Amino acid sequence: MRAKYKDGICISPITVAELFSGQSSRDKEVENFLKYLIDGFKQLEMDQETAILAGQLRCFYKIAIADAFIAASAIQTGARLVSHNQKDFSKVPNLKIIKPK
């Protein structure tokens, strides 16, 4: 059995929703793999404070609401955000971004 929450890596519920919004997730094998994958991460929770910050980020920086929630979650928890989406996330000050290789 693999270790859970290795290295304190977290995932946003918005990211989970994005993973399952693709057509490929309709395939049972892909669905099972995605569930296995996300099970290894601590899932962040959304609260009112995070929602307010997400709304403000969307308003001030004109980013998609899903990206605003992901950024707000990272800021609220002090986490670094791993994303290829440098274009949108780099607009947000105080957001620590890591671009994967």
pLDDT (tens place) for every residue of the chain, 101 residues total = 344 444 678 999 999 999 999 999 999 999 999 999 999 888 888 899 999 999 999 999 999 999 999 999 999 988 899 999 999 999 999 899 999 88
What residue numbers bound the domain in which 82 lies?
7-98
How far apart are alpha carbons 45 and 65 in whole angstroms?
A: 16
In this prediction the pTM is 0.83
CATH of the domain at 24: 3.40.50.1010
Residue 12 lies in a domain: yes
Residue 20 lies in a domain: yes
Answer for the pair 10, 44: CB distance below 8 angstroms, yes or no.
yes
